[in-house]
Chain A
C-alpha cells in the first residue's frame, strides 16, 4: 500500500489537511477533558482524543499501532475507565472551587511555562529536515516489520513486559477481591433453617409468580385462595423498584348472577 507520507520532511496536502482539521479538535477535546464537571464526560472526551491519535498513527504509516490504539486503548482501557466510573459513582461531579491556595494560578503558570519551554526546544531542534519515512522499513508490511524488530532486537523487553502483564492481572484480582461480610450458608443449613422456622409456610419454597391466561410474567403476583395477591411470590427487588403489576386486570371475569 502506498504510504501516505513522503520521504522528504514535508507532507502531502492530504495529510496536512487531515492534521489541521483533527489536531485542533484534539486539543479542544483535551482541554474540555480538563474543564468539564462530570467525570463521564471527561472519559468520553479522552476517548475522542485517542481516536484522533489513532488516525494520526495510521496517517504516519504506523498501521499496526493505529489499530492497536483503537482496540486496546480506546476499546479496552477507556471502557475499563467507564466501568470503574460506574462503580464509583456516575453522578459524582467535582466541584470546580479550588480549595488549595494558589494552586490555580501556579498551575496556569506551570502550563504556560512547560508548554513554552517544550515548544521553544522543539523549534530549536533540527527535526524532520531529513525525514526518511517508513517506506523502507515497511517494505514487507508494517506488521511484519514490527514483528521482526520485536522478536529479534527487543525480545528480552517483550518477555519482561509479558511478565508485567501477568503480574498486573493477578494484582488487580487481589486488590479488587473482597471477602464477603458473612459466609453464604450451605444447602443443608438452608434446608434446616426452612423446617425449623416459625411456620412451615415456606418450607417447600416460595410461591411462584402468577401465571394468567393473558399474562405470564415475573412481575405479576400470584393469587391466594381468597383472591388477594400473594406478595411473597414476586422478587422483592421488583417490588422495591415499583415494577410489580397488579394482578387485577388479568383475572377472569366471574359472573356474579349465579349466586342468587
Chain B
C-alpha cells in the first residue's frame, strides 16, 4: 500500500465546485457550466495520472491509500475517513470522470436554453464527488456516505424540473426505492461490525475467513438488497423507468453508466463475503437472472425511447449481477461488461437526447422514423452503440457479454445449463427490442408530427457522442486482449485461478449460439416494425399489456406496500390524536372541571370560610390524634 496525498482531490474538487455554484447563485450563471466542466475534466486528468502511476508500481504497492481524518471513535467502533485507490477503484474512477466529463460537455449545449443550467451543473458535480467517494472509500461506512450522496444527487437531478408534479413524484419514488435498499446496507454494516469488530474492507476480508456461514450469508443477503435498490434489480426496480423524467444527460450519466452500477461495485468489492457463502451467491444469481428477463420483456413494449433504454439498462445490469454471482472470474467479467456498457449505453442515451432535441422533446418512438436521413451523426453513433449491445463482433459488447454467457454455462450442472440458457434468451430478446428501437427511430417510414423539423445537433452535443462511440467500438477488444482486465483485477478478486480451467462448451460454440439468437431477434424485429401505426394498438397479447405496465410491479407495490402503509399511518395518526392527545386533553379537562367546581367555594361569605377553618381544625386534631394513637 502506497500512501498518497492526491486522493482527496478526487472528491474535494467537484464538491468545492458544486458548493461554489450553489452558493453564488445567479451570479455564477454566465460561467458556472464552464467551470464545472473544467473541474470534471481535471478530475479525469488526475485519474489518468494516478492510473499511469499505478501501472508503474508493482505488487502490493499498486494500491494507494490516504487517511483524511479520524471520523468516528466511539467505544470499540473506530472508523477513519480514508480513501483507497486500488485496481478496482481506478476502473471506476476513470469511467466516472471520463464519461462524466463528456456528459458535462454535452450538457452545455443540451441545457443551453434552461434558466437553471448552473444549478444543473452544480448537481452534476455533486454527483461526481459522491460517486467518487463511493468507489474510493476504504470502509463500508465511507462507501455508505458516498452511497447516500449519489442517492441525493439522483433525487435532485431526476426532479430537476420540479415545477412538474409528475417529475417530483418520480424523484421521490426513486429515493424511496433506494432507501429500502439502503436499509440492507445499514444492516450489513451492523452485522459486519458485530461479527468482525471493524467495517473496513481489509478488516472484514480478514475476518471473513473465520466467520460462521450464517453471518456471511446474512451479510451477503443484505448487501444484495442494497445493490438491488441502487441498481434497479428485482424487486426494487420500479423506479428506473420513472427516473427518465430527468434531463437526458442525467439519464445517461446516472442511470446508465455510473450510479446504477454502484451495486455491482458493492458486490465486487465484497467478493470475500460472497465467495465464502454459496447461498448468498445463489441469491445473487437468481436476482440477476430474473431482472435480466424482466427488463428485456419490459423493453419490448415501451414506446418511449428513454424508457425502452432504461429497461435495457435494467436488463444489462442483470447480466452484470448474474456474473458477480458466478465466482471469482465472474467479477472481472462483470466489471468488463460494466465498462463497455457504460460506453455504449451512455452513447445511446446521448443519442436519444439528441433525437429528442431535434424532434422538439418528443419521446414517443411512434412519431419518429427515418431520422437517419436528417441526423446522420446521431444515427451513426447510436448505431455503433446498438451493434455493441447486440454483441456483434468486433464491437465491445461481443467480448463482455459472451464471456458472461460462457461463465454462466461453466458454473456447472443444472444451474449452469439453466443460467446459460437464460442469458442466451436474454441476448435474443435484447436484440429484438434494440432493433425495434433502431428501426422505429432511424429506419422505417417517416411518421413525424407536422410541426417537427428535425435537425442535427450542435458540435458540443455530437462530439461526446462520437467519443463514446469510439469506446463502444474499441473498449471490449482492448479490455480483453491478453486478459488485460482479468489480470489487472487479479489482486482484488482472485480471478485468475478459474479462468483457464476447462469450459463446458468451447467459447466459439457459445459465440455462434449467441449470434444465432441475436440474428433471429433482429430478423423478427425488422419484419414486424417496418411500419407501425402512430397510435399504439389496443388489442395486443396479454404479455404485451403487462409489459406496457412494467409487468405490474407498480401495481403490486401499491397494493401490498403502499395502501396498507397508508392505512397504517392514518391509523397511527388517528390513535395519536385520540389516545395520546386525548389523554393529555383529558388531564386538562379534569383540571378544568375540578377547578371550576372548586371555584364555587370562593363565595365571598365570611361564614363559609369560618366553617372551612373549623373543618381544618377538626382535621388537624384528628391527625395529631392518629399520630399519637
Contacts and interface: CB of A to CB of B under 8 A. Distances in A.
B625 A100 contact: no
Interface in B589-622: 603, 605, 607-608, 611, 614-615, 617-618, 621-622
A106 B611 contact: yes
A117 B622 CA distance: 7
A117 B611 contact: no
A230 to B, nearest CB: 55
Contacts of B614: 110, 114
A118 B617 CA distance: 11
A103 B608 CA distance: 7
Given A100-B603, A100-B605, A107 B618 contact: no
Nearest to A107: B611
A107 B615 CA distance: 9
Contacts of A121: 621, 625
Contacts of B603: 100
Contact of B621 (A100, A103, A106, A118): A118
Interface of B: 603, 605, 607-608, 611, 614-615, 617-618, 621-622, 625
B618 A117 contact: yes
Contacts of A113: 615, 618
A107 to B, nearest CB: 6
Given A100-B603, A100-B605, A121-B625, A114 B618 contact: yes
B607 to A, nearest CB: 7
User: Which A-B residue pairs are the 8 nearest by beta carbons?
Assistant: A113-B618, A110-B614, A114-B618, A117-B621, A100-B608, A100-B605, A110-B615, A106-B611
Interface in A84-114: 100, 103, 106-107, 110, 113-114
Given A117-B622, A118-B621, A121-B621, A100 B607 contact: yes
Given A110-B611, A114-B614, A114-B621, 8 more contacts: A100-B603, A100-B605, A106-B611, A106-B615, A107-B611, A117-B622, A118-B621, A121-B625
Most chain-A CB neighbours within 10 Å: which of B605, B608, B615, B618? B618
7 contacts: A100-B603, A103-B607, A106-B611, A110-B618, A113-B615, A117-B618, A121-B621
A123 to B, nearest CB: 12
B626 to A, nearest CB: 11
A114 B617 contact: yes
Interface in A120-150: 120-121
Nearest to A120: B625
B622 A103 contact: no
Nearest to A109: B615
Nearest to A124: B625
A88 to B, nearest CB: 17
Nearest to B605: A100
A118 B607 CA distance: 22
A120 B607 CA distance: 27
Contacts of B608: 100, 103
Contacts of B611: 103, 106-107, 110
Interface in A146-173: none
Contacts of B617: 114
A120 B624 CA distance: 13
Nearest to B614: A110
A87 B621 CA distance: 40
Nearest to A111: B614
A39 to B, nearest CB: 16
Nearest to B604: A100
Contacts of A107: 611
B618 to A, nearest CB: 5
A248 B625 CA distance: 82
A115 to B, nearest CB: 10
Nearest to A115: B618
A226 B462 CA distance: 150
A182 B588 CA distance: 60
Contacts of A100: 603, 605, 607-608
A242 B178 CA distance: 115
Nearest to A98: B607
A15 to B, nearest CB: 30
Contacts of B621: 114, 117-118, 121
A234 to B, nearest CB: 48
Contacts of B625: 117, 120-121
Nearest to A116: B618
B315 to A, nearest CB: 87
A107 B611 CA distance: 7
Nearest to A112: B618
A110 to B, nearest CB: 5
A103 B609 CA distance: 10
B611 to A, nearest CB: 6
Contacts of A106: 611, 615
B614 to A, nearest CB: 5
Contacts of A103: 607-608, 611
A117 B614 CA distance: 13
Contacts of B615: 106, 110, 113
Contacts of B605: 100
A107 B609 CA distance: 12
A117 B617 CA distance: 11
Contacts of B618: 110, 113-114, 117
A122 to B, nearest CB: 11
B613 to A, nearest CB: 10
A234 B625 CA distance: 72
B432 to A, nearest CB: 95
